Structure 1
Amino acid sequence: MCIDPEKSERSLEIYQKLIAEQQNQIRELEQKLQQERELRRELEAQIGTGTAFRAEGQLIQKIAETIPGLTYIYDLNKQCNIYVNDRSSQILGCTPEEIQHLGSQLFSTIMHPEDLAKVPGNVETLVKYEDHQIFEWEYRIRNARGEWRWLMSRDVIFSRNPDGSPQHLLGYAIDITDCKREARERNQLIASLEKSQEMYRTLIKYYPNGSVFVFDRDLRYSLVDGQGLARAGISKEQLEGKSLQETVPPEDLQLFESKYRAALAGEEHTFEYKYRDLIYSITVVPLKNDREEIFAGMVVSQEITEQKQADLSLQQVKKDLEIKFQKQSAVLKASNQQLREEIIEHWRAEEALRESQQQLELFFSQSLDGFLFMMLDEPIQWDDTVDKEKVLDGVFASEKVTKANDALVAIYGATKEEFMVKH
C-alpha cells in the first residue's frame, strides 16, 4: 500500500487550524464576558442587582448567538444547565428547552459512560480554579440521531456562592468529531507509513546486486539502501536527506533531473549509466498512494557490468563465427562447384560410354557377308609376322572373346550365348 505523508501532514494542519480558530473564538468570548462583568458592576452600582442581572443575561444571549459553538451556563448547585444557546439544535439535535427539561439527568442520558465516570473528578478539579483559569476537556455525546459525537468544552467560573465556592460555570463547546477522526486516520497513516517504510527498508537493504532510491518532489532522497551501494563505494548516509544536485556529477545532472521529473509526471524510464568502472541499468518510476496520486519517485539501480561484458564477449564470438562461416561458406561453395563440375564431367563420360556401347552393339548386330567380328578383353598382336590361326586358337582357348557378330557365330553353328560359353 502506498501512503502519502503530505496528505497526513495536511490533515494535522487542518486539525490544528480548526482548534486554533475555536480557541480564538473562545478568547473573544472571554473578552466580551470580561467587558460584561465590568458592565454588570456598573449596573449594580446604579440600579440594583436584579436589573443588572437581567441586563447581563441579555448581553450574554446576544454574545452567544454570534458564535458558532455551543454556549451554556451550568449551575453546579442544581447540577443542570440554566442556559443553552440555539447551537444545541445543530450540534446535539436538541432544542435548548429539551436540554433544560432533562435537568440533572442530562449527562447520564446523553454522555458516554466512560466519559460520565470522569465528571466528578473534573468538577473536583475545576472548583479549585481561579476565575480567570480555563478548564478544557473532551467527551462523547450521543445526539438525537443516536450518533456518538466528540465535543471539546472550555469552562470558566462565572459566579460564586456567598461562601466563595463556584456556583455557575460558563462554557463553550465545539464538535471535534471530524478532527478526532482525521487525527486518528493520521495516526493510522503514520503507523502504516512507518510499518511500510520499515518493510521497504528491509526489502531494499537486502536487494541483491543493486540499490533503491526514493526521492520527493524536491528531488531529495528520503530513502536509500541496497547491497549495491557498498560495491559502488557509497553509503546510504551520503545520500539520504541530500538533493539530486548534491549527489550527482554536474555533467550527469541534466540526464537524471529529466528522468526524475518525468517520473513525478507519471512516466517510467529505463536507461544505462556508467559509474566509475561499473555499468548500471537504472529504472525511474512514480510512486502513487491509494488514490492513484503521485507523491514521490523511485529509482531501481541494478549493476549489469558482468552481463555487459558477457554480451560483449558473446558479440565477439558471434562476429568470429560469422567470419569463419563466411570463409567456410566460400570453401564449401568452391568445393560444391568443383564437385558439380566433376559430376557433370562424369555424366558426360557415362553418356559417351553409353553412346559408344550403343554404336558397338549396333556394329556387331549387323551381319555382313564375308566379315567376321569379335571383341576381346585385351589387345593381341595381329599382323603378318604372326601365325594368325594359332593366335585365333589361343584366343578361343583362353576365352578372351567378349563379343562376336552373327557371321562369326554362324560358322560355328551355335547361338551367341553358346558361342560365348564355349569360347
Structure 2
Amino acid sequence: MDLLSDEFLLSLSRSHALCKCRALSRFSGSRGATQDRDSSSPLNSATAGHSDNGIETSFSQNGTRSATNSRKGRGVAKGYKLDREVKKHGKYKIMFAPGERIPMKNESEFSDGLSIVIKTNAEIHGVNRWRDVPMENKEVCYARLFQWFDIEGWSTDERVSMIVDSRLQTVYTRWRNTLHMEYKKLVNKGISLREVCPREDLSMTKWQAACDFIEDEKFQKKSRINSRNRKKKPFDHTSGKTTMLTRYRRMEKMVAAQNQPVNEDEEPPSEDAIIESNLGRRSGYIKGMGHGVEVVRGRQFSSYSVVNAELKEKLSQLETAQDKIVNLTDAYEEQSKTLKEQSKTLEETLMKLDDQKKETEACKEQNKTYSQQIDSLQCQMAKMQEFLQKFPGFHPSTFSGTAISGDCGKVGVVDGDGPRNSQSLEI
C-alpha cells in the first residue's frame, strides 16, 4: 500500500509540473494565432504588423487591434468532437453516485462540455458570479449542455441540479481567473488593454467587459487576499485534466486488489480515514480530495444515517442472494455429477446388452446349423434303412446294432458276440 501511495503522489507531482509548463507556454504560442471574432473577416482586417514585444498585432478598419501569436496551436475548442461522438453513439450518460460530485463515468467529456459552454455562451458583462448570470442566459447554457449529455435525475433530483450548478460556478470562476491571467500578461508587456483581445475564443465586447470586472476595486482587493493565501498552501492541488477523485478511484482499486484482509472479521482502515488523519479536515472540504467529495455536516447526519442503514440492508440482501446462488450452483454441480455417473452406467449397460444381443444372434445361427445337420443325418439314416432292408435276414430291430465305420459311406453289421456277417456297403 505504501508503494501504491508513493506512485499516486509521484503522478500528482508530475501532473503539477506539466500544468506549470503549460501555464508558462500558454501565452507564448501554444494557443495559436488569436484574433477577435468580430475582426476576423477579410473585410475588416486591413494591415498587420509586429510589435517590439514579439506579439503580432492586426489593425482593423475601426481602429482596434487584436494580438496574435506567431506560432499556431490546436485552435479553439468549439465542441466539434462532442458533436461527432453524440451523432455516432448518442448522448453521454452522466450519473452521480451518492456522496460524490464527480460523474461515475464520462467525467473528462463532461468537464470539456462545461468548459465549452461557459466560454462560448456564458454572459460576462455586468456579472460577477455564475449565480448572478440571468436565467435566460443560463437556459441557453443548459440547452447547449443537454445537446451532449443525458444527466440522470436533472428534473427529479434537486441534488443533481445543485451539483451541476456548482460545477458551472467552478468553471465560470476559473474562466474569469484565466482572463485575469491574460490581463496581467498584457500589463507586464505594456500592451494597451482596451484595444487588444488576447484570445481567439473571446470577442472584443466580452474582453472589455472582463477588463471592467478585473479593474473593479472589490475584485482587486479580493485578488490580493487570495494571492497571499495561495502562497501559504503547503502543497499544490493541481492534477491537470484528471480530477483527484478519478485518481483516487484508480488507486483504491489497486490497493483493494493487492491488500485483501487476512481475516474476514477484520476490516482495514478506509482510505478516507487515512487521508483525513494525515492531511486534516476543514469545514465543507476534505484536503487532498478536491471538490469531488461531499462532506457530511452535522445537520445531515440523520439523513445520511438512514441512507447508510438502507445501504447496509441492501448489502445484507445482496449477500443472502449471493449465498443462495452459491448453494444452487453447488447443488447443480452435484446433480450434474450424478447425472454424468448415471449416464456412464447406462452406456455400460447398453454396451452389455449389445454384446448379449450379438451372442444371442450367434447362438441362433449355430442352432440353425445344428438343426440342418440333424435333418441331414435323419435323412441319411432313413436311406440306410431302406438300403439294408434289401438284404435277406435283416430285421429292423437289428438296426440298433448297426455301426458306422470310420470311413465315410461304409457300414458294418454286428451282433452282440462280435462280427457275424460283415460287408462293406457303398452308400
TM-score range, shorter chain: under 0.3
After TM superposition, the score normalised by the length of structure 2 is 0.26
RCO greater where, 1 or 2, for CA within 8 Å and sep 6 or more?
A: 2
More strand by share: 1
- Choose between structure 1 and 2: higher helix proportion: 2
Question: Between Structure 1 and Structure 2, whose CA radius of gyration is higher?
Answer: 1
TM-score, normalised with respect to structure 1? 0.27
